[in-house]
Amino acid sequence: MPTCSETYGPNWVGEYPNCRYESSTPPGTGQEQTSFTGTVGSLGYGDILAGSSWEDDWQQFFDPYDPRREEMAERHADIDIGQLGAAWGLQEEQLGEAWGLRGAQLGETLDLGREQLGESWRLQERGLGEQWEGQRGELGAEARRGYQDVTRMGEQMLTRGRGLTFGGQRQRQAEEEVSGAYARSFGLGQSAYEQALAAGQSRYQQGLEAQTLGYEQAMETGQMGYEQALETGQLALQQGTTDIYQGLESDIFGQRESWEEQNRATLNVLLGSGIWSGDDDYTPPPGWTDPNTGTVTCCDGTEQPAAYMCGYGNQPADCYGGKTSTGGDTGTGTGTGTGTGTGTGSGTGTGTGSLVTGTQNMGQVMGARRYG
């Protein structure tokens, strides 16, 4: 009995056809193939966020894997495989019934052919017997007439006075001739009758053998066709089942990959949200609040625990973009307050406002420098 892994590939366990798929981390994630748990901890982002302001509480920003769609896909696959098996079971039953009917028809045809052949031979045998019986009657009648002629001849010789000795000898000689002719004719007729019987019996046996051979060949051909139909159906069932399982595997992989991609996107946002407050070259803008100790003010005036939670285009860095500085290097950055800011990039500062390297941009730079 083949195993499920031999039939369908990795992660399939059990004895065919009772197979089930056991999860593993999808390939292409840069991780070893390990058992998939779908927990936030299994994402392994703790090391990436080590040293950040969310080092200890990072898991609150990520969602565990929801297995309901996967379970639904497995249920649907089981239903599809069950329907496929039921359809093949019905087809297999119909094939068996059709072949059984065909075999019975072939058997009936053989029996009928043998019966007809036997009846024909019996009629022929009876005809040969009647014909030989008629020939024997004719031979007996001819012999009786010969004996009668011999008797009349003897009487005539006595009447003519030829003597008893000569007449008796002549009569015995004539009787022997009649008897010999009868014996020869009877022997020839008997031989012809026996030869006709033997020839008829031989043809009858040949007819039986030919019918038997035809029956056996028809049964062999039918059995071969039946077995080929079974093999074709079983192969189609196996291929269909394999297709369903492969589709299920692809769906599961896609769902898990999507879950990881979504969490990775969240991680990227978190990495760029100003969480590297411990860096020496990082100076938070005036009015910025540490996410672990307070809140940040979004562009629309709302407060959130972290900048990324303000949403795209509404983060504090977006509010301060395009500010310029006077003197020194030119650049574009984010921040508020007074002082002199330096930066690199494009643009020329003309105002008197102070400039610091933007929180959002610095977080991205630090994240890229550490883990890019």
What value, to the nearest 5°, has the Cα angle with vertex 264 and ends 32 and 280? 105
Q: What is the mean pLDDT of residues 70-78?
A: 93
Supply φ then ψ for residue 336, to 5 degrees: -135, 170
Residue 368: closest CA among 263, 276, 252, 260: 276
Q: Is the model's pLDDT at 85 over the cut of 60? A: yes
Most confident stretch, 25-39, 53-67, 315-329, 337-351:
53-67
**Alpha-carbon distance 80 to 239, whole Å?**
13
> In the prediction, which pLDDT does 335 show?
39
Of 169-178, 194-203, 313-322, 329-338, where does mean pLDDT reach its minimum? 329-338
Q: Is the model's pLDDT at 350 over the cut of 70? A: no
Tell whether omega for the bond before 305 is within 30 degrees of 0, i.e. cis: no
Q: In which band, very low, low, confident or very high, does the pLDDT at 299 lie, cut at 50, 70 and 90?
A: confident
Q: What is the mean pLDDT of residues 53-71?
A: 90
Supply φ then ψ for residue 356, to 5 degrees: -125, 160
291-326 CB burial, b ≥16 within 10 A, e <16: beeeebbbeeeeebbbbbbbeeebbbbbbbeebbbe
Residues 6+ apart with CB under 8 A from 310: 296, 298, 299, 300, 302, 304, 316
Question: Residue 161: helix, strand or coil by DSSP?
Answer: coil
**Alpha-carbon distance 248 to 79, whole Å?**
12
Most confident stretch, 112-116, 149-153, 300-304:
112-116
**Alpha-carbon distance 7 to 14, whole Å?**
11
Average per-residue pLDDT in the chain? 75
Percent over 90 (pLDDT), the chain: 36
> In the prediction, which pLDDT does 82 show?
93
Residue 361: closest CA among 266, 265, 274: 274
**Alpha-carbon distance 355 to 328, whole Å?**
11
**Alpha-carbon distance 159 to 275, whole Å?**
165
Enter the tokens of residue 162.
Answer: 């030829």
Q: In which band, very low, low, confident or very high, does the pLDDT at 356 lie, cut at 50, 70 and 90?
A: very low
Supply φ then ψ for residue 234, to 5 degrees: -65, -40
Residue 298: closest CA among 371, 306, 218: 306
Give 225-236 pLDDT, tens digit per residue.
Answer: 999 999 999 999
CB neighbours of residue 74 within 10 Å: 16
Q: What is the mean pLDDT of residues 66-75?
A: 92
Give 122-180 pLDDT, tens digit per residue.
Answer: 999 899 898 888 888 888 888 888 878 877 777 776 666 555 555 567 777 777 888 88
Q: In which band, very low, low, confident or very high, does the pLDDT at 349 lie, cut at 50, 70 and 90?
A: very low
Q: In which band, very low, low, confident or very high, does the pLDDT at 11 lie, cut at 50, 70 and 90?
A: low
Q: Is the model's pLDDT at 223 over the cut of 90? A: yes
> In the prediction, which pLDDT does 21 show?
59
Query: Amino acid identity of 153?
Result: M
